[in-house]
Amino acid sequence: MTVRRIGYGAMALTGPGGWGKPANPAAAKDVLRQALDLGVQLFDTADSYGPDVSEELLADALHPYPGDVRDRHQGRLDPGRAVAASRRRPARAPASNV
């Protein structure tokens, strides 16, 4: 699969300093939908953003994901949390870390 060069880094969707929920979760979901409408295919998330907030917002805003959308997850803090977060998303082939 070819992925466009421009992706969306989801850390900015969380609360101040990358911690907690955003002040306006609905607006954060609108940003994700608009990025998709503008052609973004790659959403870069990590369970440490929030923690888990960026992944939850992504799932709430875009699920079910269009076939050409990929989410790239950075390092996991705790395998148990990774499993819980993944229950909200369908399995997808990870994007390359190139």
Q: Is residue 92 part of a domain?
A: no
Q: What is the pLDDT of residue 20?
A: 92
Q: Is 8 helix (H, G, I), strand (E, B) or coil?
A: strand
| pLDDT higher than 80, residue 25 | yes
Q: Is residue 22 part of a domain?
A: yes
For 16-77, give the secondary structure using H, E and C.
HHHECCCCCHHHHHHHHHHHHHCCCCEEEEECCCECCHHHHHHHHHHCCCCCCCEEEEECCC
Full domain range(s) for residue 26: 8-86
The active-site residue, picked from 35, 49, 70, 71, is 49
Q: Is residue 77 part of a domain?
A: yes
Q: Is residue 72 part of a domain?
A: yes
Give yes or no: 8 in active site: no
Structure confidence by residue, pLDDT tens digits, 28-87: 999 999 999 998 988 888 888 888 899 899 989 988 877 777 666 555 545 445 444 444
How far is C-alpha 89 from the geometric centre of its chain's CA atoms?
A: 10
- Domain count within the chain: 1
> What length is written for the chain?
98
